[in-house]
Amino acid sequence: MYRQEVNNLKMDAKENFPDYTGATNIVSRVLTPEMYVKLYGRKTSFGTTVDDCIQPSINKIDCDIGLCAGDEEAYKVFGELFDGVIDLQHRGFKATDKQPAPELDPEKLVGGELDPKYVKSCRVRSGRNIRGFPLSPKVNRAHRRAIQDILVSALGKMDGKYYSLRGMTKEEETELREGHFLFQKPTGHFLVDTGCARDWPDARGIWLNKDKTLLVWINEEDHSRIISMQKDSNMKATFARFCSAIKQVEAGLKASGKEFMHSDRLGVLATCPSNIGTALRCSVHCRIPNLSKHPKFTEIIKGMEMQWRGTGGEDSEAVDSVYDLSNAARLKKTEREFVQHVIDGTNKVIEMEKRLEAGKSIDDLMPASCK
């Protein structure tokens, strides 16, 4: 009798509001008890609730954002919350603002070949999700398997090979790991909280072209991540390959009656709202032993609207003073504009490094925020 009473108990939505005591994430700053009550009873066609979307903000109250989308509809069904978070995360993007149309044109780049003395490699990558399927928080095994089949079929006419994480040989695994192509089971709080590690490694894999310059991850954080790489300083060639790959995969999807998720207002849609717009990260490995020792190094890079990571990516150390430099934003500019931003920013970084090599001041080259 007691069990039945508990199971049938109807609790008021306000009683279920999260405890955000001490929280610093963006969700805790946007979501009010009144908004929560308003959104509490809503569901998308895949069953996504507001609690599904805010779970990362509860599990780790000191994370950056704390919001995820269970599917494409979540961006509209819980629009009040997503719009508020997007506005803060992207430093101003009102509900009336609109992402520019995609621009995949490498011929418009200026100065696409960087100084090889400093730039050791280039990379352009972006996530893409298939319309009609849920995202990581609500995706199940059948969904992932269907997504894998659709993407492998779309990639079928391109010159490369698909390696299933479950079906690859030990030799293939070693080769992919040594080439830094292999992605691992997620351990970070956001990826774990949003279900990216669930049912691992079922329906996960990597498509790699024969030249090992184009890579497609399937069913990691998003349905796919398309990555163009170049072991030299030619960013234009890297972006050209990326643009061609996006167009070829889109054509392959269209042949099977599918398409990527895309919003006229928000652009590319992703599991994490930090990646909407273009979802594009353009980066270079740049050797800067002098600038990296400057007391304002982090401020300089941030002031240029870029970000730095170690040689091995996020949370890694720089090896031989080689830093990963990339665009900080994903929204409000086109793909071509973000790549151009990284080209221009990298050239400015190199100019600073040359000045410091010669024992000269870089004060006049610093962003206004650092002066």
Task: List the one residue out of 224, 253, 243 whose CA is nearest residue 282.
Answer: 243
Q: List the chain pLDDT tens, one digit each, 371 residues.
A: 333 333 445 678 989 999 999 999 999 999 999 999 999 999 999 999 999 999 999 999 999 999 999 999 999 999 999 999 999 999 999 999 999 999 999 999 999 999 999 999 999 999 999 999 999 999 999 999 999 999 999 999 899 999 999 989 999 999 998 888 988 898 888 999 999 999 999 999 999 999 999 999 999 999 999 999 999 999 999 999 999 999 999 999 999 999 999 999 999 999 999 999 999 999 999 999 999 999 999 999 999 999 999 877 666 687 899 999 999 999 999 999 999 999 999 999 999 999 999 999 999 999 988 87
Sign (positive or negative) of CA dihedral 91, 52, 73, 268: positive
Instruction: Please indicate, yes or no, if residue 99 is contained in any of the structural domains.
Output: no
State how beta strands 224-230 and 322-327 pair.
unpaired
Given this model, what pLDDT does residue 315 score?
62
Asked if residue 146 and residue 77 are part of one domain, the reply reads no
Report the half-sphere exposure of 275 (CA within 13 A, side-chain side).
21
Asked if residue 48 and residue 135 are part of one domain, the reply reads no
Asked if residue 144 and residue 13 are part of one domain, the reply reads no
Residue-level length of the chain: 371
Task: List the one residue out of 88, 4, 59, 5 whose CA is nearest residue 273.
Answer: 88
Asked if residue 202 and residue 147 are part of one domain, the reply reads yes
- CA dist., res. 150 & res. 283, Å (int): 29
- CA dist., res. 145 & res. 142, Å (int): 5
Given this model, what pLDDT does residue 178 score?
87
For residue 142, give the 3-state DSSP assignment. helix
Asked if residue 11 and residue 112 are part of one domain, the reply reads no
Given this model, what pLDDT does residue 370 score?
84
Query: Treating both helix axes as pointing N-terminal to C-terminal, what angle do 79-89 and 33-40 enclose, rounded to 10 degrees?
Result: 130
Choose one of 89, 124, 142: the last residue of a domain: 89
Domain span at residue 355 reads 106-370
Contact assessment for residue 131 and residue 147, using Cβ atoms and an 8 Å cutoff = no
Asked if residue 158 and residue 285 are part of one domain, the reply reads yes
How many domains does the chain fold into?
2
Residue 316: which CATH number? Answer: 3.30.590.10
Instruction: Please indicate, yes or no, if residue 98 is contained in any of the structural domains.
Output: no
- Burial level of 262, CB count in 10 A (0-12/13-18/19+)? middle
Residue 79: which CATH number? Answer: 1.10.135.10
CA–CA–CA angle 235, 240, 242 (5° rounding): 95
- CA dist., res. 27 & res. 292, Å (int): 33
Choose one of 55, 89, 123: the last residue of a domain: 89
Sign (positive or negative) of CA dihedral 112, 118, 120, 121: negative
